[in-house]
Amino acid sequence: MTRITALAVLVATLVAAPARASLPDLIGIGTRSPALAGLGAADSDDWEATWLNPAGLAHAPRRRLTIGYVAVRQRLRLDGAPRPIEPTDGLFIGATLPLPFGGALRDRLAIGLGFYYPFGVINRARDAFPDRPRLALLDDRTQVVSILVSLGVRVHRRVSLGIGVLALAALTGEIRIAQDATGATTTISEQQLVTSFAPVAGLRIEAARWLTVGVALRGESRSSYDIKIKADLADLLPFTLPVLRIAGVAQYDPLQMAFEGSFRPTPWLRALVGLTWKHWSAYPNPIENATDGAAPLPSPEFHDTVVPRAGLEARLPLDGRHRGRLLALTLRGGYAFEWTPAPTGPTRTLLDASRHVVAGGLGLSWSTRRGGFSGSLDLFGQAHFLDGDARATGRMNAFGATLGLDL
């Protein structure tokens, strides 16, 4: 390798360091919650509760395995120019496992598992220059593997608690450029994937037959990367290169608390409302200085936000039987308004905009009176419309489907 090639490796690594990002907070997880614009902390009782509110797992009616697909497509503009972002296609796998204890623990404990895998990646990040404008909360944010494991416990007939953990991939490593025994310049790259954890906890109370209340606390989660570049080229260069760091946060979800209520005015209709507080003021600068002697980067100066949500769900039993199975159709719709935590201004580099989130979906479930093959097929679609910032505009669409089978 020539000295020009060695320097090119350094420059290329500085400009774009590969890594990737997450989905649950931006779109939701599964299909029911995304179809309700992120609601479900008050009444979810399947694998989606691993993120929404683990306390709901204690109400899981049966063992179920779910597999699904999700896609995200973005048409965004930054300062009037198209902002290309790679489309996301991913896989959902979820499971709910009520624990078959007897006695005082009968029908009181359940485990939930959730897995999201964006096809072809584990983690992606854009490591742009500090003075280059970028969409801080939308760039590649749907492209990081997420793993959820939770436990729900029914402590009273009307009260349940839950606790769980969200695991994300983080990247650390080192790139060394030096001469080998023959005098040739070589590059040795060593990277290691490590795991970053964030807690999830919740409380669910059945206040009345027609009202269920849920409170969920989701800890701060981040997927970071830290790669050091060391060059030992004293025989090739008349100066010593400093140690360079390509470091930052590829994905960040703030500490947040969700408060929700689920109302059932009739047996077939459910109305959901909620508020989610997000601690965006703790948002770190997504990139760090490449060298120790560089001037400190400016603070993002993000502020906390509160996200209102509302949704409706109607379950409609279908007349008669189909091949011996009872069928039901469920229609869902929701709206949320995501206030941006980012300040505005012509000199800002970390850009964002508020978003109107319009969602909808449907589900078809089937069961038999005497057990047997039961399950559901669910679909959802979401449209995010950016609003309130002249520099960040456009829309984002998401859609997906899941198939759940009782075990």
| Neighbour tally for 351: CB within 10 Å | 23
Give CA–CA dist 320/271, Å, rounded: 27
Domain positions in the chain: 3-406
Q: Which residue has the tokens 């983080």?
A: 170
Let me know the angle formed at the C-alpha of 335 by 333 and 337, rounded to the nearest 5 degrees: 165
User: The tokens of 316 are what?
Assistant: 């409609």
Termini Cα distance of the chain: 58
Long-range contacts of 75-82 (CB under 8 A, 24+ apart): 75/394, 75/395, 75/396, 75/397, 76/135, 76/138, 76/386, 76/392, 76/393, 76/394, 76/395, 76/396, 77/392, 77/393, 77/394, 78/133, 78/134, 78/135, 78/351, 78/391, 78/392, 79/133, 79/391
Name, in order, each residue with C-beta under 8 angstroms of 294's C-beta and a sequence gap of 6 or more: none
pLDDT at 201: 98
- The answer to whether residues 273 and 312 touch, using CB atoms and an 8 Å cutoff, is no
pLDDT at 15: 36
pLDDT at 4: 36
Q: Which residue has the tokens 């790669």?
A: 227
pLDDT mean for each 10 residues of the chain (407 residues) = 38 36 83 97 96 96 94 92 88 95 87 90 55 78 82 95 90 77 74 83 96 97 81 68 77 94 95 97 83 77 96 86 73 97 85 95 85 86 92 94 94
CATH for 3-406 is 2.40.160.60
- C-alpha pair distances (Å), 29 with each of 45, 67, 122, 354: 13, 12, 17, 21
Give CA–CA dist 215/205, Å, rounded: 9
Long-range contacts of 278-281 (CB under 8 A, 24+ apart): 278/254, 278/304, 278/305, 278/306, 278/307, 278/341, 279/220, 279/254, 279/255, 279/304, 280/254, 280/304, 280/305, 280/341, 281/341
Give CA–CA dist 110/107, Å, rounded: 8
pLDDT at 235: 65
Count the alpha carbons within 13 Å of 366 in the hemisphere toward its beta carbon.
12
pLDDT at 129: 61
